[in-house]
Amino acid sequence: MKTHTSQKFVVGNWKMHTTSSEAEHLAKGIIEGFDRSEHVTVILCPPFPYLALVGEMLKGTQIALGAQNMYPDKEGAFTGEVSPTMLLDLGCKYVILGHSERRHKLGESDAFINQKVECALSAGLNAILCVGETLEQRNAKQTQAVLDSQLSQGLANVPPEFFSRLSVAYEPVWAIGNSLHHENPQQAQDALLLIRKKLSQICGDFRAQQMIVQYGGSVEPENATAYLGQHDIDGVLIGGASLKADKFLAIVHAAIAENEAEMQPV
Ligand code: PEP
């Protein structure tokens, strides 16, 4: 039996997809198909323009609202940016930070991501910090060095009391949006173990064991149970499959079943 968590996390990252009517339709399908369960935390992260719409729909449900990014300041002259204050005002509980698309396509540095993590946590949000190596880095056997560096830089100077509102998502860059990738659940488990060991060095064994550590990278209904069954995988971050209510719900139900199975006494 696992000891570190009592719930599985399933996060839907809608990225830059949906119109307002598609967002409404998708959220409606997920809300209607989801039965409350103490075995899972479900988080929907729509694009910024639809946070208010989806947030209204999620009121009174057990599904939480999350954002895909934020700027690390409460307010100010930052044209086009969105602050943690605004996210909280819209009902967001979570924010994804350091997603590989923001690191690699938009040039975000570890130092900037670190500012975001600190700012999000001090504002009262729960932060999901994404880390992961590129295929070139994996082939060059740099996975551990990359993860260690992203974690130590991304979490530098984060006060210990904030760690209970932090989770880490391991998302190997080459496995995202690529159903033909060669990542397998055991490789993911191996990387997550490295992550948990590094977290132990950063914030101590107890906090590292308590922390939600997730996997993301082309998780689908067909492979969700295999990932969620790994010892160090407490949840999954879903991109493509979160855009279809039936697929997303199938993964949520796999998470519930896996958590129920793990909670059974051995
Ligand atoms: C993601 O966007 O974080 C992700 C894991 O995407 P996908 O599930 O499409 O690989």
If phi over 0 gives left and psi between -120 and 50 gives alpha, with beta otherwise, what is residue 161? alpha
Contact call for residues 230 and 185 (beta carbons, < 8 A): yes
Domain carrying residue 201? 8-119+142-238+253-262
Q: Whose CA is nearest to atom 6 of ligand 1?
A: 239
How many distinct structural domains can be found in the chain?
A: 1
CATH code for the domain in which residue 24 is found: 3.20.20.70
Distance in Å, CA 6 to ligand 1 centroid: 24
What residues are in contact with ligand 1 under a 6 Å CB criterion?
A: 13, 15, 171, 176-177, 216-219, 237-241
Q: Is residue 244 part of a domain?
A: no
pLDDT at position 2 is 46
CA of 242, closest atom in ligand 1: 8
Pocket mutation for ligand 1, best pick of 176, 182, 183, 214 (most atoms within 8 Å of C-beta): 176
In a domain, 12, yes or no: yes
Nearest one of 63, 38, 12 to 237, comparing CA atoms:
12
Assess if residue 128 is contained within a domain: no
Active site residues: 99, 171
Residues pairing with 235 in the sheet: 9, 214
Q: Residue 97 pairs with which residues in a beta bridge?
A: 129
In a domain, 124, yes or no: no
Cα 38–Cα 91–Cα 20 angle in degrees, nearest 5: 100
Evaluate whether 117 touches 127 at the Cβ level (below 8 Å): yes
Structural domain includes residue 222: yes
Q: Give the residues of the chain that fall short of pLDDT 50.
A: 1-3
| Per-residue burial over 41-51, b = 16 or more CB atoms within 10 Å of its CB, e = otherwise | bbbbbbbbebb
Q: Which whole-number Å values give the CA distances from 197 to 32, 145, 148, 208, 214, in the listed order?
A: 39, 13, 9, 8, 15
Tokens 């719409």 correspond to what residue? 53
pLDDT computed for residue 89 by the predictor: 98
- pLDDT tens per residue, range 79-136: 999 999 999 999 999 999 999 999 999 999 999 999 999 999 999 999 999 999 999 9
* Tokens 């056997």 sit on residue: 141
